[in-house]
Amino acid sequence: MGEIIVHEVGLRDGLQVEKITVPTEQKIKWIQALIASGVDIIQIGSFVHPEKIPQMADTDQLFAYFNQADHKPGGVILSGLVLNEKGLERGFACGVEQFCMGVSASDTYSRKNTGIGTAEATERILAMAQKAVHAGKRVQLSVQSAFGCGYEGAIPEEKVLEIVTRYLEAGFRNISLADTAGHAHPQQVERLFGAVQNLDPKIECACHFHETYGLGLANCYAALKVGVRYFEASFAGLGGSPSSAITSGNVCTEDLVHLLQRMNLRRDIELNRIIEVAKEASRYFNRGLPGLVHRTGPIPAFEKTASGG
């Protein structure tokens, strides 16, 4: 098994549906704590119109701050989500290291989220991705609603594979399948990721699951079993897409890391730092948040097994 990569998306996917806007100073503190935890990638915002999603109005400012010499983190990649060409140009201007962009396998969701259908969105995203690569940036492409859609229901797996094939033909190998509606189940996860990996042995698969129906962490385990290496999650289980029929949180980062560490994986990540961010978020929003481990505390890392090992 290759190294597992944890991509923290709480500052973007986690906050984008929150009604209370988090000040830039508070976001900086949370980002600094997440950097110190040892996660690999942190998505600190999306380049969308501030009137549409006010929580993301300071994305340019956050990237500019962390690209200053005395604030720039070492060993952590900062990613940003872009939906269109204007967002891409903003990302270039403020120093985004990794661009995340994607296409929905659901035409209905695509139109609600970006205003255009899947076919047109695919052409646009591929052109943007090529431009980012030519500028020396890392790019991850995703297929949203890959496991089902709150509007259309089941999504044919052939449609997902067609989009992935387009990505591969254009030279992109870092590809995420996103369970935007939370419809995925473990058998489906193993089957679809297996089919994706059969398309190209050099592909680097990422997964993005939601806990809409309580299967997110089980789906992460299923993805892990079939060789997925990149896992996206949100501290405290915050988040969800404002364009979804039912908005629900992401897989919780501290719960995911706790699972990995119980399996003797990613012991280097400082779980307690992520737990503290989750607790601070709960206090800030003045409500209980979906994750579990920030409330229960982790099982001691080096607990003996039943056999005494």
- On the 0-12 / 13-18 / 19+ scale of CB atoms within 10 A, 97 is middle
Q: Residues 80, 46: contact at Cβ < 8 Å?
A: yes
Which of 264, 260, 255, 253 lies closest to 302, judged by CA? 264
- On the 0-12 / 13-18 / 19+ scale of CB atoms within 10 A, 309 is exposed
Q: Please name the amino acid found at residue 79.
A: S
Handedness of CA 17, 107, 189, 269 (dihedral sign): negative
pLDDT digits (tens, 9 = 90+) for 223-254: 999 999 999 999 999 986 655 444 568 999 99
Show the DSSP H helices in 172-252 as ranges.
Answer: 186-199, 216-225
C-alpha 197/C-alpha 200 separation (Å) is 6
Q: How far apart are the first and last CA of the chain?
A: 22
Q: Residues 44, 15: contact at Cβ < 8 Å?
A: no
Q: Please name the amino acid found at residue 140.
A: Q
pLDDT digits (tens, 9 = 90+) for 139-193: 999 999 999 998 899 999 999 999 999 999 999 999 999 999 999 999 999 999 9
62: helix, coil or strand? helix
C-alpha 282/C-alpha 18 separation (Å) is 12
Its pTM stands at 0.93
> Which two tokens mark 302?
């080096």
pLDDT digits (tens, 9 = 90+) for 80-121: 999 999 999 999 999 999 999 999 999 988 888 788 899 998
Which of 252, 196, 259 lies closest to 228, judged by CA? 196
pLDDT digits (tens, 9 = 90+) for 123-136: 999 999 999 999 99
Phi and psi (nearest 5°) for 45?
A: 170, 175
Domain 5-296 sits in CATH at 3.20.20.70
pLDDT for the residue 240: 65
